[in-house]
Structure 1
């Protein structure tokens, strides 16, 4: 089934980092109308663990959902933008797995980066997102935990690759968080 991206890019004017996944999961899996909306996805728990030493900082446990307003306020404060590498996909199965996504229309990431001139880096959180972005900028895809430089106009940026926040990725939350924390420290988002 062909799908268009259901969300607008989240691009704080002060964004130092642009995080790019592949594409949101089917809406039936959403607990909030925002990025990483599946309650079984650990992205917001990773953020809570790193920045607040509390993996449930962004969780509304009584409702089994994430606190969208708290997430947005935090991302605006620290300067992290979010979108995906595809604006239109063909979903072969009714899940969020990259293995069953075909990108019909890739995101114009260069245009997005031009809207956030303070941005220093892009972070991809999965294989498909990494491969898609690497093709766009004609760079070698970094391995998980690594970064590579790339140019956009006269700007030098970095592409960081971190592990997927999906629980299907076989690594404990704390171990995944180590990769993200290193990136946040290097970009001075976490001091």
Structure 2
């Protein structure tokens, strides 16, 4: 019998730069974009219509998601993020992707986004909002790896979501708000998840 021994993977580099408005005081952090086959509508963060990210963001901003696919959807999304004072980025800049999967468990970080440099360049950011935290393949786990690589780890909290952690950087405290993924595979959905996003994104720094 012949067995499979080749672990097929692709190397991918993040297709977009982080978007951080001038007055953003929070940085919303994900893992890495979905596989290109799922980027069906626009070239910007969370382009998969089966992910609820923009539905949640638009609802928090008091806008109708149904209008978001019309003229210049990327510009509209940047406008909404600016209105909410939110920057957006992903923790991974370069990854291995196994078998074209968009599941975080099929991704392996090669190079992290330089989060500390983003914080240096945007000093009014005092909160990082982390959008997944399950197991070792998540925004939280990879953010912790990046911070540890730079000799500045933080304590990962235990317990149920939402959770908070504290990062000390450049003589100030960065709050880390940990909330569930907007993937439809997430265990936490609906109003419960929406309320967690509202609390994290609208909280005063």
- Normalising TM by the smaller chain, what interval? 0.7 to 0.9
- 2:179 aligned residue (148, 162, 166): 162
2:156 pairs with 1:141: yes
Tell me the residue number matched to 1:49. Answer: 59
Consecutive unaligned residues in structure 1, runs of 5 or more: none
Tell me the residue number matched to 1:26. Answer: 35
Cα 1:75–1:64 shift into 2, 3 Å: closer
Q: TM-score scaled by structure 1?
A: 0.88
2:194 pairs with 1:185: no
Structure 2 distance, partners of 1:43, 1:179, is: 13
2:53 pairs with 1:35: no
2:12 pairs with 1:3: yes
Larger Rg: 2
Tell me the residue number matched to 2:128. Answer: 122
**SS of equivalent residue, structure 1 residue 111:** helix
**SS of equivalent residue, structure 1 residue 59:** helix
Cα 1:66–1:25 shift into 2, 3 Å: farther
**SS of equivalent residue, structure 2 residue 184:** coil
Give yes or no for contact 2:31–2:92 (8 Å, CA) kept in 1.
yes
Tell me the residue number matched to 1:100. Answer: 106
Give yes or no for contact 1:36–1:43 (8 Å, CA) kept in 2.
yes
Structure 2 distance, partners of 1:73, 1:64, is: 14
- 2:193 aligned residue (171, 176, 181): 176
Instruction: Give runs of ≥4 in structure 1 deviating > 6 Å.
Output: none
2:15 pairs with 1:14: no
Structure 1 distance, partners of 2:72, 2:183, is: 15
> Could you list the per-position Cα deviations for residues 13-53 of structure 1 after superposition, in whole angstroms to 9, with x for gaps in the alignment?
1111101111001111112111111001001111122231x
Q: How many residues align?
A: 184
Q: TM-score scaled by structure 2?
A: 0.82
> Could you list the per-position Cα deviations for residues 156-182 of structure 1 after superposition, in whole angstroms to 9, with x for gaps in the alignment?
110111100000112323221111111
Give yes or no for contact 1:142–1:159 (8 Å, CA) kept in 2.
no
Give yes or no for contact 1:121–1:157 (8 Å, CA) kept in 2.
yes
